[in-house]
Structure 1
Amino acid sequence: MITTTALDERYQDLEEDARYIYRSLGLLPVCEINADMTAAITGLLWGRVEWELEVLADEQLLEPLEEHEGRVRYRLVSVARDHARSLALQHDLEHDRILVLSRLCDWVLMTCTQAQLLLTPDQATLRRSTMEPPAVPAPFDDDAGALAWLESHEGNLLALLRSAEAAGWDELVWQLVDSFWPWFLRRHPYELWSAAHEIGLAAARRVGNEPAVRQMLLSGAIGLNAVGRMKDALWWYGEACDAARDAGDLRGDGQALLGLGSCHHDAGMPEQARPFLTRAIALWRSCGYPRGVALANIVLGEIDLADDPRRAMDAFAEARADLLEVDDSFDAARALVLQGHACVRTGDVEGGIREMTTGLASLADAGSTRWRARALELLGAAHHDKGDTATARGYYQQAEQLYAVIRPADAERVRDLSAGLARLLTRPSAADVAGLHGEGPRG
């Protein structure tokens, strides 16, 4: 283990910029850093920062990690973290120490916002009017790159939120939560989703930002429902519904009603769900929000699947057409998968498989964990229906792997389906059984 004396000696051997970088890193509430982040928190040029990080790694003060998206990442050696922080407390003014954290939060928010504007532009409505042009270009230029960047910072989010909360930057707190929406939507880290929104909601309430409160309630309730906290989710949706009506926010009111309907549908109460969904559709039609109408129709279609798959298929087809009209390819792919499933339920197995396979490809491009898993599961069921047990099991196994990351209970359920098919595959055929009893074909 490196001693404090050894750390002091290595620090003294560094040039001034490297010393400043080292002290600044000790103040960060994050585990992994790279040159982009370090340049943002120190104000130093990127090339200089990249060089000094290599120097710190050579001095064994930083631990190099695997490259991510072509950028070298580092972790401050554990024994060096407290040492670097203590030096910052000794040598840097309080204002300068606060500035390091402030710059980190601003940089994360700026980059997350660029990802959000690329991936889910509709979600950034609360902040779009006050957004300034980014000081530096985003480190990505496509959807895959934006998702990869969010993934690389997922593990930092809660620590960053708590640090900003402790500093009293409540407007920044809820904005950081809101900016991570594309990651929540596409990769479904439900525990993080719900925990972050609880922090964001409290912050929005402290500053009395009512539109932000509604946004946190509506977005956060989805995560709460997904982790099994249905009562909390219903409470959040109900509060959002009341707040939206008081504010005359028809779109927000409809979103809360959609959430209430979805919660009841997920809980196996379709008849209680339907009135919320039809009211949401009426509201959204009155204010001209066709995307919302389509989303509600998807849930209504899922309800109809049980008793009237043809009506469900029509609902999904209508929803998909409306979503494509407003350039929402992600939700249109969801509708296509469900349309294919309904097609299978009407007896057109091959047609349904084609539609689900097309939808799955689009969902894979979008990086959606949950909906890829669901599409794979439905494809497994369709192949099982047509007697292709081996292919069905392959789809179930793929679905299980994805569910395991976000919903262990669903992973276990699909694992049982796959295990049942495995028993079918290993069961002796009728001819084999006949042969064992001396009834096989004669030679």
Structure 2
Amino acid sequence: MSSAVTRPAGPDDLWSVDDHLEDILSTVRPLEPIELQLLDAQGCVLVDDVTVPVSLPPFDNSSMDGYAVRVTDVEGAGEEFPAVLEVVGDVAAGAADPVRVGPGQAARIMTGAPLPPGAEAVVPVEWTDGGLGEGPVSGMRARSLAPEGAEGHVHVYRSAEAGAHVRAKGSDVRAGDRALEAGTILGPPQIALLAAIGRGTVRVRPRPRVVVLSTGSELVQPGEQLATGQIYDSNSFSLTAAARDAGAIAYRVGAVADDAETLRSTIEDQLIRADLLVTTGGVSVGAYDVVKEALSYVGDEDVAGSGVDFRKLAMQPGKPQGFGSIGPDHTPLLALPGNPVSSYVSFELFVRPAIRALMGLTDLHRPRARAVLKADEALRSPKGRRQFLRGAYTEGEVTPVGGTGSHLVAALAQADALIVVPEDVECVEPGSEVEVVLLG
């Protein structure tokens, strides 16, 4: 843990939100780079700058089906006095040795085909008679009536400037240009660019593997029948989805009953596939707070629980938190509270930045904005606690959604922002400006 973090003097003292986050980020390190095939690298973060080895496009080529011509040969061409050019051949996409276009000549050319020597522009087939001598025709009719290999003459009814309908060599990127910067997340467009410049593999930091465990004997899996005193396990689903949204490969483990030995064994089994472990529930001061019991085990350093610190934060919701590293590889573990809203808010504030730090990103946090509070009454907040309230954000305004209860899942589903009330503020009047964390 970082010595720069200000630790509370006693076990009952509160950590600030910022100190807890700093403690996490000072411990989490980016994953080691690996070389991956392009499709396997999707969602990963690029480690090195990528330089273009070959210009795109690598040669001048046609952007239309039509005729490759010399500019002087079609100068002044019109409906009444078209330019009449000799068709010397066809140029298809992939042609390695296209015909040369000389004075008074044209070559029938297909989209993507290399511009033949001597040609300076392409006139679309719609500007011609398609070699039929019947006046301008539609592109579809010209293609159907003038098959490849047909020789003769073509009438051109419009002039063209140099480079017209030609994709110039290097007009996309030039050899030696930087195609992608280190730190770029590889999505479909970036994968396409890498393939287009001939890269079959790329060096990246892999997507972190995050294992999510929920705890509680009262939890039942969705789709099963509820008995008296039971509730459905929603936390493991929300946190697994949130981890994937943050860029991780996330694995959901079914709810573990309130038994320390079972939880400890489950955690040890999951270490083999985890770069980060997230638990939810069992971190408060109740008699059945199994996570604290399981991870407070002192013994062999190879077992789970050798370095997890449980603490109280000056925030609402989400006061009880746990953080440390476990197992032989010192895998980071974040223990979140069990109430659904507390769990989700804690994920956004602490787990999401940790995932992005493992990815090697520098932009770790959700964007924030200032917004005018749109509410019927003032917001109340306990003194000394940083409160995070659910809100709906629209064009510089934010409206509270639901109450302050940490069990209000329905309200959470309607929110796309968190309203931040600082520790030294106890009342926020409607119309006041507040800070919001944007979740969308």
TM over 0.5: no
> Which one has more relative contact order, counting CA pairs under 8 Å at least 6 apart?
2
Bigger helix fraction:
1
| TM-score between both structures, scaled by the size of structure 2 | 0.24
| TM-score between both structures, scaled by the size of structure 1 | 0.24
